[in-house]
Structure 1
């Protein structure tokens, strides 16, 4: 039996958006509010990060920083839907 948690049974928004914010902050870039980053949930993350950072090189760095936080904290910030 398989369960599709992300977006079906649980809300991944806090972990994903906060990890994006973390990456942008570490790169000294503008950090949008969580609600302004919901468009990043679903599409390929690198493509979203490229739109936010402006270049492939910065998106690569942002992805590493995203994973740094998401792997330790963001992964556990999923909330069950009511």
Structure 2
């Protein structure tokens, strides 16, 4: 059997095995208890995520500005 044919057969077998596997999750409000596990609730988390994202996005621009100012001698 050629190398190409073997790898094709192997890929077909693994694809068949992947289709057989499945996962079933039931999301119930009583079992999730998200408000109890996150301190401060969802509003505080949303504010923290926005702050984290805006600081992370602005840092490269701030570093570039500082670098350009140093190159100019300011």
Which bin holds the TM-score, normalised by the shorter protein?
A: under 0.3
Which has the larger share of helix?
Answer: 2
TM-score of the superposition, structure 1-length normalised? Answer: 0.25
Which one has more relative contact order, counting CA pairs under 8 Å at least 6 apart? 1
- As a proportion of its length, which structure holds more strand? 1
